Structure 1
Amino acid sequence: MPTLLHLDSSLYSLDGSASRAVTASFRTAWEEQHPNGTVIYRDLAADPLPHIDEISATAGFSDPAEHTPEQRAAFALRVELAEELERADAVLIGAPMYNFTIPSTLKTWLDQVIIVGRTAGEAPSAAGTPVTVVASRGGSYAPGTPRESFEFVQNYLEKALNGMLGLDVDFIVPELTLARTTPAMADLVELSDASRAKAHEDATTKAKALAARF
Structure 2
Amino acid sequence: MSLFRLDASIRTEGSASRALADIVEKHWREASSAAPISRRHLVTDPIPSDAWHTAVTSWHIPEADRTAAQQAAVGLASSLADELADADAYLFAVPLYNFGVSQHFKTYVDLVSTDPRMADAEPATAGKPGVLVTVQGGNYSPGTPKEGWDHATSWMRRILEDVWHIDLDVVTREFTLVGENPALDEFADMAADIRAGAESKAHESGQIFAQRSQPASA
- Range into which the TM-score falls when normalised by the shorter chain: 0.7 to 0.9
Aligned partner of 1:101 in structure 2 is 100
Q: Note if contact 1:113-1:119 (Cα within 8 Å) is conserved in structure 2.
A: yes
Aligned partner of 1:67 in structure 2 is 66
**How does the TM-score come out when normalised to structure 2?**
0.86
* Partner of residue 41 from structure 1, selected from 39, 42, 50: 39
Measure how far apart 1:180 and its partner are. 2.8
Measure how far apart 1:213 and its partner are. 4.4
Deviations 1:32-67 (A, max 9, x none): 211211111011111111122432221234454653
Amino acid at match of 1:197: E
Q: Note if contact 2:9-2:94 (Cα within 8 Å) is conserved in structure 1.
A: yes
Amino acid at match of 1:71: Q
Number of equivalences = 212
Q: Note if contact 2:5-2:37 (Cα within 8 Å) is conserved in structure 1.
A: yes
Measure how far apart 1:198 and its partner are. 2.1
Q: Note if contact 1:128-1:168 (Cα within 8 Å) is conserved in structure 2.
A: yes
Deviations 1:183-210 (A, max 9, x none): 2433423323323432432343233323
* Partner of residue 204 from structure 2, selected from 179, 202, 214: 202
In structure 2, stretches of 5+ residues that fail to align are none
Aligned partner of 1:115 in structure 2 is 114
Amino acid at match of 2:32: H
**How does the TM-score come out when normalised to structure 1?**
0.88
RMSD: 2.1
Work out the CA distance in 2 between the residues paired with 1:126 and 1:53: 20
In structure 1, stretches of 5+ residues that fail to align are none
Work out the CA distance in 1 between the residues paired with 2:189 and 2:20: 23
Measure how far apart 1:84 and its partner are. 0.7
- Of stretches 122-131 and 78-87 in structure 1, the one that deviates more from structure 2 is 122-131
Alpha-carbon distance change, 63 to 148 in structure 1, aligned in 2, over 3 angstroms: farther
